[in-house]
Structure 1
Amino acid sequence: MTIHQISVFLENRAGQLAEIAAVLAERNINLRAIHIAETSDYGVLRMIVDRSQEAASVLLEHGFILSMTPVLAVVVPDEPGALARVLGVLAKEQIDVEYMYSVFGLVSDRACMIFRVADVDRLSAVLTANHMTPVAGDVLGIH
């Protein structure tokens, strides 16, 4: 159930995000989720795309520095308190969330969150044991 996230290291300059979007668009690669973290010197673009291996290859060809990271997608009911319940289970099990962000749109009228933790297999087992099943990539349109 692990999904491959691409993290691209960005210079803080105008137009770099547009370049990445254009490179992906030229190959008809679709973004499923995107998150940007920044410091004063650089940024990190984290994204889930429909074809991660192809996206990584084309971005590397264009000179971008990147890494691939395993993450887990979790469907969360689209209602108040749903994310708090998921996070409560993780806290109880002492699973530290390094970061998280949401997927574009809803999955079957439910929200979907991407979680980065140190041990995605343990996270998957804990969620499954608590009736919070992780989402396979094909549900998100990832090939």
Structure 2
Amino acid sequence: MIEQLTVCLPDGPGKLAAMCGLLGHNGVRIHALMVAETVDFGIIRVICDRPRHTAELLCGAGYNAMCTRVVAVEVQNVPGALGTLLDRLSSCDLNVEYAYTCCVDSRTVDIIKVTGEPLEIKLRESGLALLTAADLYDPDEVTRA
């Protein structure tokens, strides 16, 4: 499993731009970004090269940010790949809370928030090609994980 940065961002013009500008100014490499809207705020989910460092940076700048554990699975970029992945998770009695897809270098990666106990054992039994922190993070961040 990897860590995803989750940020609660108040709605308003320029709020997302300001947050992303702060990350860029501080050299954070964003692999994926997903925005989910609610009535009063957005939930921003980010896969980046330094999630813990970035959470600390954002909290220090007044943002509500935290790290959440998710699964990153490398998949073939072909029709049906996501369905096959979801079938495997389902067959292991794992529930999908949300999912999104990104490209990391030349790889297609599905990011999935799953639940089910015992989670680590069920993920191992799934036989999926799970990515690790070393596959996505800055080397200094891997030592912190």
Q: Normalized against structure 1, the TM-score is what? A: 0.86
> Is residue 114 from structure 1 mapped to residue 81 from structure 2 by the alignment?
no
Report what 2:52 is aligned to: 53
SS in 2 for 1:103: strand
Post-superposition offset of 1:21:
0.8
Post-superposition offset of 1:19:
1.0
Report what 1:13 is aligned to: 12
Gaps of 5+ in 1: none
Q: Normalized against structure 2, the TM-score is what? A: 0.85
Post-superposition offset of 1:124:
2.4
SS in 2 for 1:40: coil
Gaps of 5+ in 2: 140-145
> For the aligned residues, what is the CA RMSD?
1.7
The aligned runs of 1:1-143 (5 Å cut-off) are: 2-105=1-104, 107=106, 110-119=107-116, 120-128=119-127, 132-143=128-139
Identity of aligned residues (%): 29
Letter in 2 for 1:139: D
Aligned length: 137
Letter in 2 for 1:137: A
Maintained 8 Å contact 1:127/1:133: no
